[in-house]
Amino acid sequence: MELTTVWFILIAVLWCGYFLLEGFDFGVGMLLPVLGRDDRERRLLINTIGPVWDGNEVWLLVAGGATFAAFPEWYATLFSGFYLPLLLILVALILRGLAFEYRGKSDSPQWKRYWDWAIIGGSIVPAVLWGVAFGNIVRGVPISAEHEYVGGFFNLLNPYALVGGLTTTGLFLLHGAVFLALKTDGEIRARAGAVAVRVAVPTVVLAAGFLLWTQLTHSDAWGWVLSGAAAAALISGVLAARARREGWAFICTGATIVLAVAALFVTLFPDVMPTTLAGGDSLTTTNAASTPYTLKVMTWVAVCFTPIVLAYQAWTYWVFRRRLRVEHIPAGGH
């Protein structure tokens, strides 16, 4: 297997890991005003992801860095063409991170309310725009023969990409609700389970429609297989959530996200950014890649350091594995 293919697969794995882990973070943030009826309950919701949210974002940083190093032309075209949506995602993530750190610095209800909205907005915006971005990557965008994006912002707001944005939002909402049902106990757990059941039906419809649209347009054999597996995992997750089997429900919603992202990357290969422009030139794993020497060095670095990072993150989740209750949150604290 060529190193270009290896790095395409590794980047796909990084995005799968990012959406799997950060997906429930976004879901928790979006559900903050729904499940948190007072400050103490909202602090409980934030504490469920408090020890892990920043570690989950490392997957995004590594995915971006790997794309820059392994496929510099893909990185350059992507970040120039998708400049505004990626900037909005970055600002949203920064505000969200600041909110986690500064929300408890004052007892003022107004102060906390401002930061609560930063968490909510900082979760909704990336959840929508990541789906829009990946929808456009798979669908294709106007790229010239010189590998430059020649469209505008509104070219990105096409029906397929918008459905992709709604799909990722629904999946993250469901994933986050199931995570909260798994990570909390008492009344919050019951509420989260009820929300998961309520958002399940529209999420199934959106996800099935988006994956079906993708495969009818591109018709990739492995894409069909992975899309079918994602649909089966999603339905299993919904049934497990209805039965209050939170552990199985979380495994299934996580598998749905991973399989759906994998289906998109399989459908995309060997392109990394197809063009919709007549006379344009699609970016592929060949013409967008770095030199063989660069890829070889990167491969050895990945082999050495990836197990360490994975082991540390797994240890973090193990340490903070226990359920939380409102009684664990001190009244009037930060």
Pair 244, 191: CB distance under 8 Å: no
Give percent of the chain above pLDDT 70.
99
Mean pLDDT of 242-249: 93
Q: Six-digit token pair at 278?
A: 């007549």
**Per-residue confidence (pLDDT) for residue 333, from 0 to 100:** 55
Mean pLDDT of 29-38: 91
> What DSSP string describes 101-142?
HHGGG---HHHHHHHHHHHHHHHHHHHHHHHHHHHHHHH-B-
Q: Is 90 exceeded by the pLDDT of residue 18?
A: yes
Q: How far apart are CA 118 and CA 225, in angstroms?
A: 39
- Going by pLDDT thresholds of 50, 70 and 90, the confidence category of residue 332 is low
Q: Is 80 exceeded by the pLDDT of residue 1?
A: no
Q: Which residues contact 162 (CB under 8 A, 6 or more apart)?
A: 132, 135
The sign one gets for the Cα dihedral 239, 243, 248, 249 is positive
Q: How far apart are CA 157 and CA 152, in angstroms?
A: 10
Pair 275, 142: CB distance under 8 Å: yes
What burial letters (b/e) apply to 42-60, b meaning 16+ CB within 10 Å?
Answer: bbbbbebbeebbeebbbbb
Q: How far apart are CA 56 and CA 22, in angstroms?
A: 6
Q: Is 90 exceeded by the pLDDT of residue 262?
A: yes
**Per-residue confidence (pLDDT) for residue 230, from 0 to 100:** 95
**Per-residue confidence (pLDDT) for residue 10, from 0 to 100:** 94
- Going by pLDDT thresholds of 50, 70 and 90, the confidence category of residue 71 is very high
ω before 292 within 30° of 0 (cis)? no
Mean model confidence pLDDT for the chain: 91
How far CA 214 is from CA of 134, 207, 208, 248, 291, in Å, comes to: 11, 11, 10, 27, 32
- Going by pLDDT thresholds of 50, 70 and 90, the confidence category of residue 54 is confident
Give the residue from 29, 31, 33, 41 showing the smallest Cα distance to 327: 41
- 123-149 pLDDT, tens digit per residue, is 999 999 999 999 999 999 999 888 888
Backbone φ and ψ for 284, nearest 5 degrees, come out as -125, 175
**Per-residue confidence (pLDDT) for residue 67, from 0 to 100:** 93
Structure-token match 């209050």, residue found:
244
- 157-210 pLDDT, tens digit per residue, is 999 999 999 999 999 999 999 999 999 998 999 999 999 999 999 999 999 999
**Per-residue confidence (pLDDT) for residue 125, from 0 to 100:** 96
Q: Which residues contact 109 (CB under 8 A, 6 or more apart)?
A: 39
